[in-house]
Amino acid sequence: MRTDEVLLEVENLTVSFSMAGGLHRAVRGLSFSLGAGEILGIVGESGSGKSVSTQAIPSLLPKNALTSGSVRYRGKELLGRSVSFLREYRGKKIGMIFQEPGRSYDPLQNMESVFFETFRNSDRKITRALSLEKAASLLSETGLERGRERLSNFPHQFSGGQLQRIGIALALAQGCELLIADEPTTALDVTIQKQIAALLLRLRETRNISIIFISHDINLVAEIAGRIIVMYGGLIMEAGKSALFAEGAVHPYSKALLAASPRFGSHYSRERLKTIPGRVTDPAHTEPGCPFAPRCAEASDECKDGVPPLVPLDGEGGHQARCVRIPWR
């Protein structure tokens, strides 16, 4: 079912925020593409620009955000387009789920009515009975037990994992082709995390949807995504196939993230996780050189001269890295 069709092409995307003290450069030239049915992972510490860069795709940034570059969805430019043009994309072709699903719902509206309103967005004539039917079927597809009965429940009556399943069902109800999942499992326990990850993988198989999966946890992302982008300071530090990251990560930042992320079963090992020293870069005062240099154990004076380019590396899968030491000199 999978195709080679390109769904999304992001080219040299920049996002800056106009603030009282000057410009905050949150995303500094991001390029990637995503195929239909592909899962792309984006990892990086807090503040590295993961959310801002993906919110730019359906133009969901606040008014003080300035963007440049290009975001093409099936060949059509989305950046800088009017709200009426974007209506077809935001929350429809491009669905989004977030870390705290409870916050997306009105506490006084039961799920039956949430689904009814959602279906009515695209079909004004839908009946309550048909809406119930379709909602129950989607909830069964996303694995919510006793979904039909539970449609009369209010948001607070569901667990975080259940709300995430409902959020995914609502995205599907609107014809989602691309799901942007921004830390959808961060607030869930490990078992539920695995279940939601399995659900996303299943939907990719059955519906050929494309997914951008954002997380701090590089090992979790490697289990779900075919390809990974590692971001820091609004820049791609390393990108490539997930399989490669387990053994072949080359960037000091990727290696530090791997050492700081628990592997499944590691609770039973004696190995200690390594924290990354220092503080994340401040977008109000971007360094002239590599943003990771002040925290990098391998940094030299050369790293402070300018931002190193993202260079393609040998091997398959479009492996790229941004470091003065790569390719090794």
Ligand X SMILES: Nc1ncnc2c1ncn2[C@@H]1O[C@H](COP(=O)(O)OP(=O)(O)OP(=O)(O)O)[C@@H](O)[C@H]1O
Taking contact as CB under 5 A, which single stretch among the options 49-57, 59-67, 202-210, 240-248 is the one that binds Mg ion? 49-57
Instruction: Indicate which single residue of 51, 142, 254, 320 sits in contact with Mg ion (rule: CB under 5 A).
Output: 51
| Distances 218 to 14, 43, 189, 195, 297 between C-alpha atoms, Å | 24, 6, 17, 17, 20
Which residues in the 129-188 window bind Mg ion by CB under 5 A? none
Shortest distance in whole angstroms from residue 41 CB to ligand X: 13
- Choose between 51 and 164: whose C-beta lies nearer to Mg ion: 51
- Choose between 52 and 256: whose C-beta lies nearer to ligand X: 52
Residue nearest to Mg ion (CB): 51
Which residues in the 6-25 window bind ligand X by CB under 6 A? 17, 19, 24
Which residues in the 131-150 window bind ligand X by CB under 6 A? none
Q: Is position 101 an interface residue for ligand X (rule: CB under 6 A)?
A: no
CA distance 155 to 170: 14
Q: Are strands 210-215 and 94-97 parallel, antiparallel or unpaired?
A: unpaired
Q: Is position 47 an interface residue for ligand X (rule: CB under 6 A)?
A: yes
Which residues in the 258-277 window bind Mg ion by CB under 5 A? none
Give the 3-state secondary structure of the chain. CCCCCEEEEEEEEEEEEEECCEEEEEEEEEEEEEECCCEEEEECCCCCCHHHHHHCCCCCCCCCEEEEEEEEECCEECCCCCHHHHCCCECCCEEEECCCHHHHCCCCCCHHHHHHHHHHHHCCCCCHHHHHHHHHHHHHHCCCCCHHHHCCCCHHHCCHHHHHHHHHHHHHHCCCCEEEEECCCCCCCHHHHHHHHHHHHHHHHHHCCEEEEEECCHHHHHHHCCEEEEEECCEEEEEEEHHHHHHHCCCHHHHHHHHHCCCCCHHHCCCCCCCCCCCCCCCCCCCCCCCCHHHCCCCCHHHHCCCCCCEECCCCCCCEECCCCCCCC
Q: Is position 44 an interface residue for ligand X (rule: CB under 6 A)?
A: yes
Sheet containing 6-19: give its strands across: 22-35, 6-19, 65-73, 76-77
Shortest distance in whole angstroms from residue 182 CB to Mg ion: 6
- Choose between 93 and 216: whose C-beta lies nearer to ligand X: 216
Q: Is position 54 an interface residue for Mg ion (rule: CB under 5 A)?
A: no
The count of chain residues that interact with Mg ion, using the rule CB under 5 A, is 1
Q: Is position 48 an interface residue for ligand X (rule: CB under 6 A)?
A: yes
Which residues in the 199-228 window bind ligand X by CB under 6 A? 216
Picked from ligand X, Mg ion, none, the partner binding residue 139 (CB below 5 to 8 A depending on kind) is none
The count of chain residues that interact with ligand X, using the rule CB under 6 A, is 15
Shortest distance in whole angstroms from residue 17 CB to ligand X: 3
Q: Is position 320 an interface residue for Mg ion (rule: CB under 5 A)?
A: no
Picked from Mg ion, ligand X, none, the partner binding residue 48 (CB below 5 to 8 A depending on kind) is ligand X
Q: Is position 49 an interface residue for ligand X (rule: CB under 6 A)?
A: yes
Instruction: Indicate which single residue of 283, 289, 291, 308 sits in contact with ligand X (rule: CB under 6 A).
Output: 283
In the complex, the residues that contact ligand X under the rule CB under 6 A are: 17, 19, 24, 26, 44, 46-52, 62, 216, 283
In the complex, the residues that contact Mg ion under the rule CB under 5 A are: 51
